[in-house]
């Protein structure tokens, strides 16, 4: 079955789906929700909770009336009731959708109730027999030209009419490990009936993903046993010219790395350390070992912003030691690219900073000895594969700021050696954190202005780029507009998010780093690695939408200099008691936060906790105490009976996984 066989999908819609990365029926089904919204709890007006989004069934009492004011502004009001009370339904600037509501008929509504105003604003609504409201509802990211409604309609047609695929995990394993069959799994993920089912399906999904990944790693490791052996060099001149001393932890990790590099052992190591623990300099010093032994180094970061920053920070330091560095990113001019390609081949560049674009076809190193990957541990093994296809097989050093406990790390990264930086540089002042609700906005903005007047800079983080028809979380665009108005030019505000072109992103990042922007409104794009010491305040809107570890990463952008820093977690309405938020407010240690994250998601009252954390957009943010040992058991099982050769579906999965990473690395 092809996409265009689905009723309603013609060439135009197909092109839109392609843009979203969906090319066939299987791809459609694998396109999962960004998060789930709980629309399951039917309440009466009288006993609903003020300020919360809830699901009502209401009868229309009178017809829609529209009032116009200012230019193009309108309010449309409908009165509706249930057995306990009546209420105003209010739509702002949307006078058409409520027109379809018929007097005397009952509908389902979903929206936030304001009890003092006796109204529900901009509610979603549907007929009683429609399941758009009334359950756990997946929210998908779609693009312009394809509405969410259409997306769901097509998806439903597919789910109702096709058996998606045969399972690559044998029935015996499904049974032993209590996993859901692949077809049921996707059905549940797209149309969950209960949290318990959803939890099981998510767990099955993550388990499957990890199994395929681990198998791919294992197979690859089996064929690669070359290594590079370096002569020892003294790092003293290099560390002496830093304006700080390495911490004990940094020195320890550095000695573990040099052990790998000096022995006849392939380095395949991951350095795990909390945000701000100083991983970058450790990597740079490792690079110096390779370079002084005559090898070249590639230093990759997941974003262009981060690559630019790394290059800027270390260019002159390296230069002092006669080490030539270059930056290669997508926006590098063709002319510059060409000369970089040439110089790399001639061994005239010692260390190249860049994103994964580094690995495009044309790039050839003369003598690549070490690949460093910042903040992207998952791709390590695939990079090595790509590189070995190019005929070289360098050492691999991965840096990860996800501070997971050692025991977990050992099972997660079975194919890697592990180094942990577990102390922060001693000059750090602990960040002061506050948990507040949105109605404190004026107060925290005043505080922001005060910091800015003292010469500091501020980050404001929102969960998404633009407003969303189905949700009322704050967006970068909206906050930017509102703040612009509120501050009336008194401070220099700008915004940044992933959808901007590279040039704007780079320019804005540079302006902020130079202190030419006072306040930067951003999505979580700034989560990784950005280092601006003068920024000392971060405001995170709808903080409950982020995972615990992600909040910690975000907060790690401040508290990097000598100034006292502050983080303000702004909870969505009704979420001020959120356990996650209360924990992060009082805790600053990444390892403890990671442990709590596990505990919250894994143990104990898994069910309740899962509900409060279910808005997360990351499937992997589901943890189960047994997850990794289960994955290991399954992998061993499949590996021993050589299923990766005989099981065609599994083989395909593994190959796809390789391709998927290859694609990410190559663009
Ligand atoms: P991360 O581990 O999050 O990548 P970075 O490597 O970006 O952290 O380091 C954070 C900041 O701390 C940088 O500005 C770096 O210069 C500084 N730093 C690194 N090591 C030390 C140290 N031993 N003492 C003081 N400052 C340090
Ligand atoms: Mg870093």
Which residues of the chain register pLDDT less than 50? 602-621, 666-667
Q: List the domain boundaries for the chain.
A: 1-40+136-162, 41-134, 164-223+624-667, 236-421, 432-587
Q: Are 439 and 261 in contact (CB under 8 A)?
A: no
What pLDDT is attached to residue 608? Answer: 28
What pLDDT is attached to residue 295? Answer: 95
Using CA positions, which residue lies closest to atom 9 of ligand 1? 278
- Residue 294's Cα: distance from chain center in Å? 37
Closest CA to 432 of 295, 284, 578, 586: 586
Q: Are 292 and 317 in contact (CB under 8 A)?
A: no
Which ligand 1 atom is at minimum distance from the Cα of 561?
A: 14
Q: What is the pLDDT of residues 204-248, one digit of tens each?
A: 988 898 888 888 777 766 656 678 899 999 999 999 999 899 999
Cα torsion through 481, 498, 18, 614, rounded to 10: -80
The β-bridge relationship of strands 432-437 and 566-571 is parallel
For a pocket test of ligand 1, which of 280, 377, 399 has the largest count of ligand atoms closer than 8 A to its C-beta?
A: 280
What pLDDT is attached to residue 139? Answer: 83
What pLDDT is attached to residue 459? Answer: 97
The token pair at 560 is 């990097």
Q: Long-range contact list for 216-222, CB < 8 A, 24+ apart?
A: 216/381, 216/654, 216/657, 216/658, 217/381, 217/414, 217/415, 218/415, 218/635, 218/639, 219/644, 219/654, 220/381, 220/384, 220/385, 221/381, 221/415
Which ligand 1 atom is at minimum distance from the Cα of 250?
A: 23
Identical fold at 41-134 and 432-587? no
Using the mean position of ligand 1's atoms as its centre, give its distance from the Cα of residue 162 in Å. 53
Q: Long-range contact list for 290-294, CB < 8 A, 24+ apart?
A: 290/230, 290/261, 290/369, 290/370, 290/395, 291/323, 291/350, 291/351, 292/233, 293/230, 293/231, 293/233, 293/369, 294/367, 294/369
What pLDDT is attached to residue 38? Answer: 80
What pLDDT is attached to residue 233? Answer: 94
pTM of the model: 0.66
Which residues form ligand 1's pocket by a CB distance below 6 Å? 244-247, 250, 273, 275-281, 401, 425, 427, 529, 531, 560
Using the mean position of ligand 1's atoms as its centre, give its distance from the Cα of residue 276 in Å. 5
Q: Which residue has the tokens 């394993």?
A: 173
Q: What is the pLDDT of residues 73-87, one digit of tens each?
A: 889 999 999 999 999
Ligand with minimal distance to 421 CA: 1
The contacts of residue 419 (CB under 8 Å, 6+ apart) are 252, 253, 256, 257, 269, 270, 271, 272
CATH class in words for 432-587: alpha beta
The gap between the terminal CA atoms of the chain, to the nearest Å, is 30
Choosing among 3.20.20.10, 3.40.50.300, 3.30.160.100, 3.40.190.10, the CATH entry for 236-421 is 3.40.50.300
Which ligand 1 atom is at minimum distance from the Cα of 560?
A: 11
**Phi first, then psi: what are they for 419, rounded to 5°?**
-125, 140
**Polymer length of the chain:** 667
What pLDDT is attached to residue 625? Answer: 63
The token pair at 68 is 């116009």
What pLDDT is attached to residue 228? Answer: 87
Which ligand 1 atom is at minimum distance from the Cα of 533?
A: 14
What pLDDT is attached to residue 315? Answer: 94
CATH homologous superfamily of 41-134: Nucleic acid-binding proteins (2.40.50.140)
Query: b/e map of 436-461 (b: 16 or more CB within 10 Å)?
Result: bebeebeebbebbbebbeeebbbbbb
What pLDDT is attached to residue 405? Answer: 63
């Amino acid at each position: 079955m092809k996409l265009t066989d689905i009723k309603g999908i013609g060439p135009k819609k197909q092109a839109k789906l392609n843009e979203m990365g969906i090319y066939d029926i299987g791809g459609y089904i694998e396109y999962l929700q960004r998060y789930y919204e709980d629309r399951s709890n039917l309440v009466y007006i009288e006993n609903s909770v003020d300020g919360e989004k809830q699901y009502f069934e209401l009868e229309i009492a009178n017809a829609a009336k529209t009032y116009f004011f200012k230019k193009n502004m309108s309010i449309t009001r409908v009165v509706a009731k249930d057995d306990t009370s009546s209420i105003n339904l209010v739509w702002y600037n949307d006078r058409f959708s409520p027109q379809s509501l018929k007097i005397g008929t009952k509908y389902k509504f979903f929206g936030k109730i304001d009890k003092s105003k006796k109204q529900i604003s901009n509610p979603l609504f549907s007929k009683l027999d429609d399941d758009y409201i009334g359950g756990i509802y997946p929210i998908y990211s779609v693009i312009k030209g394809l509405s969410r409604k259409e997306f769901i309609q097509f998806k439903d047609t597919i789910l109702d009419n096709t058996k998606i695929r045969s399972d690559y995990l044998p029935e015996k394993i499904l049974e032993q490990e209590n996993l859901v069959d692949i077809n049921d799994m996707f059905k549940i993920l797209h149309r969950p009936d209960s949290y318990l089912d959803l939890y099981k399906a998510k767990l099955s999904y993550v388990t499957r993903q990890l199994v395929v990944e681990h198998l791919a790693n294992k197979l690859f490791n089996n064929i690669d046993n070359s290594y590079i052996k370096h002569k020892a060099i003294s790092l003293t001149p290099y560390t002496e010219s830093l304006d700080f001393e390495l911490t004990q932890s940094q020195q320890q990790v550095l000695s573990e790395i040099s052990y790998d590099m000096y022995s006849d052992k392939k380095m395949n190591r991951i350095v795990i350390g909390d945000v701000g623990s100083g991983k970058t300099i450790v990597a740079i010093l490792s690079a110096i070992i390779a370079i002084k032994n005559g090898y070249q180094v590639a230093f990759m970061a997941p974003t262009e912003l981060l690559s630019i920053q790394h290059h800027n920070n270390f260019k002159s330091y390296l230069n002092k030691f006669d080490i030539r560095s270059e930056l290669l990113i997508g926006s590098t001019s063709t002319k510059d690219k060409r000369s970089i390609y040439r110089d790399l081949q001639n061994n005239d560049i010692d260390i190249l900073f860049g994103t994964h674009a580094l690995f495009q076809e044309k790039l050839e190193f003369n003598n690549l000895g070490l690949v460093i990957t910042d903040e992207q541990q998952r791709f390590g093994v695939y990079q090595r594969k790509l590189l070995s296809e190019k005929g070289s097989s360098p050492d691999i050093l991965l840096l990860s700021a996800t501070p997971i406990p050692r025991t977990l790390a050992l099972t997660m990264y079975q194919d890697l050696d592990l180094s942990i930086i577990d102390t922060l540089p001693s000059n750090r002042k602990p960040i002061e954190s506050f948990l507040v609700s949105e109605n404190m906005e004026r107060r925290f903005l005043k505080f922001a202005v005060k910091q800015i007047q003292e010469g500091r800079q501020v980050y404001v983080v929102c969960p998404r780029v633009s407003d969303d028809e189905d949700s009322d979380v704050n967006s970068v665009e909206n906050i930017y507009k509102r703040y612009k108005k509120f501050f009336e030019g008194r401070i220099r505000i700008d915004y940044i998010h992933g959808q901007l072109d590279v040039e704007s992103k780079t320019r804005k990042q540079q302006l902020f780093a130079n202190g030419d922007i006072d306040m930067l409104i951003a999505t979580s794009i700034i989560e990784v690695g950005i280092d601006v010491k003068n920024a000392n305040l971060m405001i995170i809107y709808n903080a409950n939408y982020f995972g615990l570890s992600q909040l910690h990463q975000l907060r790690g952008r401040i508290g990097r200099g000598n100034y006292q820093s502050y983080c303000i977690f702004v909870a969505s309405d009704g979420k001020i008691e959120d356990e996650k938020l209360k924990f992060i407010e009082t805790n600053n240690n990444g390892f403890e936060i990671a442990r709590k994250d596990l505990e919250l998601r894994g143990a104990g009252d898994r069910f309740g906790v899962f509900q409060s954390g279910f808005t997360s957009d990351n499937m992997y943010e589901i943890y189960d105490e047994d997850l990794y040992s289960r994955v290991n058991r399954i992998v061993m099982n499949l590996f021993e009976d050589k299923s990766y050769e005989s099981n065609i579906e599994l083989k395909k999965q593994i190959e796809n996984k390789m391709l998927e990473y290859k694609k990410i690395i190559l663009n």
